[in-house]
């Protein structure tokens, strides 16, 4: 099926026809969603697959194109979501609906900012003021709002909100007690399921230990995990908290926004709206001059799960330059100390390699983008983690390919994926030149605020 006159940047929803979804991706369409009755897994593909009997998982006015084979019978079996979307599309002319041979072209009109229902919002972030992922996300969200003329009250506690405007609550790991009681509060859930990240990390390390069949490696990993638990005793407590169904009930009582349905299914969450991670605001940087050479870049918090050593080894094997920025998380003194120890170890290990530049410390967004601005490719080797990656989205502002080991984060961020860094060759890098175009959760959030 050809979608003539429909821009490749359009948001397209397809019912069940996975073949059509695959064909549209091959034709260059970037935002293809497919509802399927097959089992939903975190597939590492550009197509976003979701459960067929969807009801509340998308904002109703999200899609530009809806594709269904027939409108002869009222499609009640596909849920309230479809009926609501079609009704809104017909009434407010915000959807182009294409159904088999029948096409209804409706003008897409977005509200100008002066006509928005809201002029101010509260953002509550418990870790505000720290050099930490969710705090940085909240600051960037504030900047996105302010660029559109929306006033933001960014605070650490619900006691500091302005009751006259809507509230966005950033839910982090282990915050069950802080979940608001007000059902009108919008909650952005930054979580990987009730099984906690610590358990995921243990499972990953046990797998490596079994594969290595080395007693020395097993003892080393046991010691490392015990140290991690000492640094983060809250991980064990979180595992207990997240087994409490009352947390689920509190989250579902509010307007819950989840990054991907797979994350919700891990926590038995059924009442939510899909909202991808926001794209970061554009900022002016002092960009370095590109010389056409292959130059790798990578950055992130200095934790072992980032596998920075594997990225350094890749640069050595290919004999290319690498710029590596290792940030120190300031969540607690113990966390900062652990990050600094790991970063110093990596820096010392590779100091003899002149093609590898490693910097350690706190970096502003402008500094990160400036240092990486002459890189031809950004590389990620993050362990398998059931969450979203703000780092991948952050670095997309450089407009260069982002390449990652295949995992859930890479799939969700729609970056280039390889099964292993060992498969990357110079020829592969020379052919991989297309930057990533991804969904921007900011516009989803705007629609939720206006609902």
Query: Does residue 145 or residue 275 have the better pLDDT?
Result: 145
Q: Please, which contacts does 202-205 make with residues 24 or more away whose CB atoms are closer than 8 Å? A: 204/305, 204/383, 204/384
Give the lowest-confidence range in 2-11, 168-177, 248-257, 399-408.
2-11
Separation of alpha carbons 340 and 4, rounded Å: 54
CA atoms in the 13 A half-sphere facing the CB of 253: 12
Nearest to 20 by CA among 57, 63, 42, 49: 49
Of 298 and 134, the structure prediction assigns the larger pLDDT to 298
Tens of pLDDT, residues 75-113: 444 333 343 344 333 333 233 344 334 334 333 344 444
CA 181 to CA 303: how far, in whole Å?
35
| Whole-prediction pTM | 0.65
**115 C-beta neighbours (distance < 10 Å), count:** 8
Residue with tokens 């530049």: 357
Owner of token pair 């909202």: 275
What is residue 52's predicted lDDT score, i.e. its pLDDT? 57
Place of tokens 């797998």: 207
Question: Residue 369 corresponds to which tokens in the numbers above?
Answer: 């983008």
Determine the Cα–Cα distance for residues 287 and 140; give it in Å rounded to an integer: 21
Query: What does residue 31 show for φ and ψ, rounded to 5 degrees?
Result: -125, 75
Cα 61 to Cα 95: distance, rounded to the nearest angstrom: 7
Q: Which strands make up the sheet holding 273-274, listed edge to edge?
A: 151-155, 120-124, 166-171, 186-189, 255-258, 273-274
Q: For residue 232, what are its two tokens?
A: 């983060």
DSSP letter, residue 355: T
For residues 51-68, give the mean pLDDT: 59
pLDDT digits (tens, 9 = 90+) for 205-246: 666 667 667 777 677 767 777 776 676 665 566 555 544 556
Q: Which of 62, 64, 72, 63 is nearest to 100 (CA)?
A: 72
Taking the alpha carbons of 311, 316, 317, 319 in that order, is the dihedral positive or negative? positive
The residue whose two tokens read 């890189």 is: 375
Rounded CA gap, 20 and 210, in Å?
Answer: 41
């Amino acid at each position: 099926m050809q979608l003539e006159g429909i821009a490749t940047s359009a948001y397209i929803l397809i019912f069940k026809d996975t073949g059509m979804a695959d064909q549209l991706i091959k034709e260059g369409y970037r935002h293809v969603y497919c509802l399927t009755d097959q089992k939903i897994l975190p597939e590492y593909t550009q197509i976003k697959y979701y459960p067929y009997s969807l009801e509340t998982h998308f904002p109703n006015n999200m899609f530009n194109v809806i594709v269904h084979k027939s409108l002869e019978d009222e499609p009640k079996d596909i849920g309230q979501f479809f009926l609501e979307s079609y009704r809104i599309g017909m009434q407010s002319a915000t959807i182009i609906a294409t159904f088999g041979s029948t096409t209804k072209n409706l003008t897409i009109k977005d509200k100008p900012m002066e006509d928005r229902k809201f002029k101010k919002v509260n953002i509550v972030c418990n870790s505000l003021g720290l050099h930490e992922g969710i705090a940085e996300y909240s600051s960037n969200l504030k900047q996105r709002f302010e660029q559109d003329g929306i006033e933001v009250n960014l605070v650490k506690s619900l006691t500091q909100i302005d009751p006259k405007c809507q509230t966005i609550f950033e839910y982090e790991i282990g915050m069950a007690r802080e979940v608001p009681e007000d059902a009108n509060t919008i909650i952005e859930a930054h979580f990987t399921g009730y099984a906690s990240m610590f358990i995921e990390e243990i499972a990953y390390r046990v797998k490596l230990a079994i594969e290595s069949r080395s007693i020395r490696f097993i003892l080393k990993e046991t010691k490392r995990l015990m140290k991690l638990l000492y640094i983060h005793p809250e991980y064990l407590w979180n595992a207990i908290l997240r087994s409490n169904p009352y947390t689920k009930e509190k989250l579902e009582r509010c307007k819950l926004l989840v990054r991907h349905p797979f994350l919700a299914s891990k926590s038995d969450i059924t009442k939510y709206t899909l909202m991808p991670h926001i794209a970061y605001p554009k900022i002016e940087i002092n960009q370095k001059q590109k010389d056409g050479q292959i130059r790798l870049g990578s950055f992130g918090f200095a934790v072992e799960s980032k596998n920075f050593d594997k990225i350094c080894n890749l640069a050595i094997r290919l004999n290319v330059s690498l710029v590596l920025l290792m940030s120190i998380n300031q969540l607690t003194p113990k966390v900062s100390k652990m990050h600094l120890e790991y970063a110093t170890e990596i820096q010392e290990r590779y100091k003899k390699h002149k093609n590898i530049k490693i910097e350690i410390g706190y970096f502003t967004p402008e500094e990160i983008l400036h240092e990486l601005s002459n890189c031809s490719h950004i590389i990620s080797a993050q362990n398998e983690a059931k969450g979203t990656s703000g780092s991948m989205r952050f670095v997309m502002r450089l407009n260069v390919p982002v390449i990652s080991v295949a995992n859930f984060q890479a799939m969700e961020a729609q970056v280039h994926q390889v099964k292993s860094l060992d498969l990357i060759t110079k020829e592969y890098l020379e052919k991989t030149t297309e930057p990533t175009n991804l969904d921007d959760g900011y516009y989803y959030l705007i629609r939720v605020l206006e609902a």
